[in-house]
A and B are shown apart, each in its own frame.
Chain A
Amino acid sequence: MKIKIDGRRFSAKEGETILNVAKRNKIYIPTLCYHPDLKPQGRCRVCLVEVDGKLVTSCNTKVMDNMEIFTNTKRVKEARKLNIELIYNNHSGEKELEFSVVAKELGIKKSRFEKPKKEIKSPMERDNMKCLLCGRCVQVCGAIQSINNIEFTDRGISTRISTPYDISIKDSACTFCGQCALYCPGNAIRERAYNEKVVRSLMEEMNKIINKKKFIIAQTAPAVRASLGEMFGMKPGTLVTGKMVTALRKLGFDKVFDTDFGADLTIMEEANEFVGRMKEKKNLPLITSCCPAWIKFAEQTFPFLLKNISTCKSPHQMLGAIAKTYYAQKLKLKPKDLMIVSIMPCIAKKFEAQRPEMKISGCNDVDVVLTTREIGRIIKKEKINFTDLRDGEFDDPLGISSGGGAIFGVTGGVMEAALRVAYEILTGKRLKEIDFNQVRGFEGIREADIKIDNKIIKVGVVHGLGNIRKFIESDRWKKYHFIEMMACPGGCIGGGGQPRPTTNEIRKKRMEALYRQDKKMKIRMSNKNPAIKKLYLEFLGEPLGEMSKKLLHTKYKKRKVKYT
């Protein structure tokens, strides 16, 4: 098919949109509500072009043979500008958002029009003053995550995004996966505590606590090192482990530990749990428990699966519990003298850390959870020049980790790390081929038959809540021995707390970075981590032993929400 854009000829395929052809040929068309992972909706009307004397939205208009398109006429430019100005009116204005970048590209600093007064209602940690009504959050919550918790409400100038009947977010079907926040171009939906005031008070709080001689420990999730650099203009997929550690030290944390250590510990417990269930043939398939949004989803929608879910706490909770016992003893401190700050790619972890089960001797395992975006903002606020920092190293002993812990951040990673260890437990032999390529990839539902000795172990890997729902409701889950579930597309590297923008393209780059890290590591199996071995020898005894059960395992209950 031949088409003409701005007088130049291009070939196009049937069914392609004007925007697609333009993008491929590097012709600039500004967009706002358009997102490569989502269905185009033609809602913001910033991507207008002129066809046959009519203005059409290029994101959802398909090309036709001999179509003549103009992207740059006076009429187009004026219409785009007007639309951005009108949207600008409904936004309180903030730098470094996707929205403000588009506005700047079109040369708009402020709107000519008077701002309407809007009431701020926040059923879901949202600020309607920043909402552009682009509808990305609605689509990601519904079409991708299958939760359908938010929708457009009311009509005309009163239109806003809300839960049905404005039911408060904690009583709603929300799993706190945070994908809505990740896709928001205007920062209208965001994690709790994500604003400058809170960030500042947190820093003050920390300083105050330092004066009181609280020992403050930071721990960072595997996925954060593969994405934090993006907040400082570095390319997606850049590993910034060393710089991140140095930045955290500069912020005043006493120790910087690695959640990868917690991940190794999780694998020791979970691999043994799996082997145990295989031997007893009880409560199979075993389903992973590291993802708190998946856990909430299961508790409220699929309570019949709770007995199948691993009792292991998630890695950062395990690390918190060990830091407040084993490590505190070494320092001759009490659990309450320590403050654990988890830096996570995740919003649901904030919810998880508050769960009443996540406690040891009356103290929360983890005190504060910050997202990648939040810590990035704190680093910026403190005027730390991130890109020029020298590489630091995690502190001993809870900073030592294996490649198995590193790949926890990607879909299929927990499965692979567990299989590496389960193989050795089941066979008693050394694992030669460490990579389990069968469970890697980006497809929503993946499965593999893993041969260990003469047994075939059927494993499934599912990511994205929409895929998880499909997987469970179709009863497919019943035919496996071991299943990994992650609520966010791509796993934690695509988590709700990660830097914006995130697209599937960027997710894949972050994924490659973590596999690169795994490949480079001397120790690639969790059971070979010397710090883990020492921990069991000195303190825990054995996996699933009495001490482990007390500190590292949890339970789940059917959760009542107003609707699902």
Chain B
Amino acid sequence: MKKLDNLISEYKRGECKLITLFKEIVKSKGFLSFENLNYLSKNLDIPLAKLYTTASFYSFIPTAKKGKYIIRVCNNLSCNLNGSENIIEVLKKELKINLGETTGDGKFSLELTSCIGQCDSAPAMMINNKIYTKLDKTKIRRILRELK
């Protein structure tokens, strides 16, 4: 909590800094837990529901524990037209999980995201901070094998 306190005093200057604060917490803890957010709510004097509505809006601010590798498949227009639905199906099959779920060994989480700026080489996805483009079945299998 001490680290959190430092962050809070650093960012206590207003709601406009909220996202940066969230990102810092995600960086150190992996996600925004109920305890963290409730603590934040008390110390910033912002209702918990207001913090949660902000956090839940963003794909990159998880509010539940995620796997070691978070796979975020883009499903916006270009990617969708270039077959992102198939990519999602392949991932689901390979990992044996549904969208929004995490594998039993805690290694992979599968999610959707809005545009990640790779429209020219769709379909695309991100694993943690790394971007993968022009995806197909074999490419996905190779990527997963490397991470497993």
Chain A positions near chain B (C-beta within 8 angstroms): 142, 148-155, 163-165, 167, 173, 562-563
Cross-chain contact A153 with B41 (CB below 8 angstroms): no
1/0 per residue, CB under 8 A from A, across B23-51: the answer is 00000000000100110010000011111
Main secondary structure of the interface of B (DSSP, over half): helix
A152 touches B41 (CB 8 A): no
Report the bound CA distance from A152 to B58 in whole Å: 13
A51 to chain B, nearest CB (A): 30
B11 within 8 A of A: no
Q: A-B pairs with CB below 8 Å: how many?
A: 42
**CA of A80 to CA of B37, assembled, Å:** 39
In the complex, the answer to whether B50 meets A151 with C-beta atoms within 8 Å is: yes
B56 is contacted by which of A149, A150, A155, A563 (Cβ under 8 Å)?
A155
Known: A154-B56, A155-B56. A165 touches B50 (CB 8 A): no
Q: Which residues of B contact A (CB under 8 A)?
A: 34, 37-38, 41, 47-53, 56-59, 63
Q: For B34, what are the chain A residues with a Cβ–Cβ distance below 8 Å?
A: 164-165, 167, 562
Partner of B52 from the list A155, A164, A173 (CB cut-off 8 Å) is A164
**A173 to chain B: which residues have CB within 8 Å?**
48
- A-chain residues with CB within 8 Å of residue B51 when the two chains form the complex: 164
> Closest approach, in angstroms, between the C-beta of A35 and any C-beta of chain B?
20
30 A-B residue contacts at CB 8 Å? A142-B47, A142-B49, A142-B50, A148-B47, A148-B48, A148-B49, A151-B49, A151-B52, A151-B53, A152-B53, A153-B52, A153-B53, A154-B56, A154-B57, A155-B58, A155-B59, A163-B49, A164-B34, A164-B37, A164-B48, A164-B49, A164-B51, A164-B52, A164-B53, A165-B34, A165-B37, A167-B34, A562-B34, A562-B38, A563-B41
Partner among A150, A154, A155, A562 whose Cβ is within 8 Å of the Cβ of B49: A150
Since A142-B50, A155-B59 are in contact, a sample of 13 more A-B pairs with Cβ atoms closer than 8 Å, ordered by chain A residue number, is A142-B47, A148-B49, A149-B49, A153-B56, A154-B57, A155-B56, A164-B49, A164-B51, A164-B53, A165-B37, A167-B34, A562-B38, A563-B48
Give A104 to B114 CA distance when docked, in angstroms: 36
Given A154-B57, A155-B56, A155-B57: A563 touches B38 (CB 8 Å cut-off): yes
CB-nearest residue of chain A to B53: A151
Collect the chain A residues with CB atoms within 8 Å of residue B48's CB. Answer: 148, 164, 173, 563
- Which of B38, B47, B63 has most A Cβ within 10 Å? B47
Which A residues touch B56, using CB under 8 A?
153-155
Q: A563-B38, A563-B41, A563-B48 are in contact. Are A165 and B53 (CB under 8 A)?
A: no
Query: Which residue in chain B gives the minimum CB-CB distance to A147?
Result: B47
Q: Which of B34, B53, B59 gathers most chain A CB within 10 Å?
A: B53
**Shortest Cβ distance from residue B148 to the other chain A in the assembled complex, whole angstroms:** 30
**A295 to B: closest C-beta gap in Å:** 21
Max chain A C-beta neighbours (<10 A), residue from B41, B50, B56, B58: B56
Which residues in A have their C-beta under 8 angstroms from that of B58?
Answer: 155
List, in ascending order, chain B residues with CB within 8 A of A152's CB: 53
Which residues on the B side are within 8 Å of A148 (C-beta)?
Answer: 47-50
Determine which residue in A149, A167, A563 has the highest number of CB atoms from chain B within 10 A of its CB, and name it: A563
Nearest first, the 3 closest Cβ-Cβ pairs linking A and B are: A148-B47, A164-B52, A151-B53
